[in-house]
A and B are shown apart, each in its own frame.
Chain A
């Protein structure tokens, strides 16, 4: 594996390998000295075009635990602010010969483009509303800590599916691990044609009792002004997961950050069924495992700069 661009491209075997590796890092994490020397001398660039707290900090910490050197570039205050194109930014950062570029972008397909433009491994930390594969892997890891296997599990993903890359990646990942997934939310926030991915769709929580796992999505407040839902009040009354709706044997997940009192009621956030803290913990070890999987043992020295490979466009000669 060279890149992690999306769950769609991952095989079950590749997922299992990452999850196993994460398990062994979880054990390292219980030691006093949590650092391993695996990626000493390698450089990892985090290129973030969107605000992020948990994904960015988790990637930074994961790289440091593996002894890599880390640089994080955020769009605000960088050359990106000055209008530099993604392609030029990637060329600039690639000049540092990084082992990996971790990219978050507001646009679908950005990670795939970066992979075409750099020799470094590329990890998609979220591209538009498309995919967020590291989140999906950490969610599978978290569930496996509790459930052993996801085969035959009923998972409901509830909320703003239309604008959620987490929903898409989790749907694919849960299905690959054998779970049955239902997407639930207001009809205005369920994308037309999503059933083609092999999931069920529900517009109310009447059958939520079937779920073994309830995965609530963040309800972005700006969706109100675009009239996707009439009001937060109506949304909460129909779709909020609260102690009345969440059964005692159901597990609760959320990718964070939570709008307390909107998609989740305060009491379920702090309930024993909530896996939200475990998800953050998993995030660290899963991202370590991903970096390890892509980078360890592939100590690629920068190739000598020879003649350009055949087919490379040169000036005046369109590709």
Chain B
């Protein structure tokens, strides 16, 4: 049983982690494509058309990866977590179905027009298709984040005969953590896409320094990142304060704060000792945690001891958070240095730096999702359903066999994806 639960979690975590890589790019990239397409419509500069044609191919490939891994997820809800649907299906099901109805068909159909329709529909309809697809990706994010946020901070439901039903759909959808999580994810997506565009444009310029299209897209993406990363830091802070209010155990795990303290210190790094419930070799800043979370150096911050056994494992949450923040800071520095340097020249060291940071958004986004999802444990739906109570009947052997298949498939797909992206960016450059 224990083993099957762990395997079911590993399998679902692997799938959802693999899946989120692609929507993270497409939500932001769809809007970036709208910009490229409209700039071409206005300026008739072939460099923008070239940019559109290159990046719509990247978008199509990324979208296909998202579709196929997303289909897998829609099945794994049932195969891995039947208890989830039995208990909260009346709330979760409609939110998922609304995503399909209002977003998936829209995206998939008009992506066809975007990709293949340039000579079949007018310029306006073609540009409008790009807007429709971008709108669809955002609507998709809206529903899925409404559901995820509801699982973190459930409101608006009532219990009837042991199962949950929605009392107020508005309260279910606009639950307390939803606005913050939605904004945080949209920005994460835009920043991730900006770094992918910047990185691959830089890669192209390393091979062909005079590529007009790549120069334009690099400049655009770096500016976009420089604008959005600071905004993301503000939104992330607000999101953290919201989590402190509604899921204090998660914040205690993020900060590895074992005991409730007045004037708590901020632990920068430490070896987490889950056995003895303490941190070894900790590097701390006195009173900083109270200052950040309570805006008062002597504020009281609740520690893990208050939550008994119902708190998440500390080490993965603690470290993932530090990875997210660390990568975010590097992205901030690089984007601002980029904006400053690109005004005068395009030195190769800068191009190499952006090329190296192509997929940095993935690292930060995945780390962030690990914080929020492992940080919700042991709950699947906070206070309502434990992960262990939702797991299915699949045996360890079944899970092991399918997990092996998934791992091999995902590894092959991910490598192919990254190779093809680099290849696309390099191709055609003289």
Does A associate with B in a complex? no
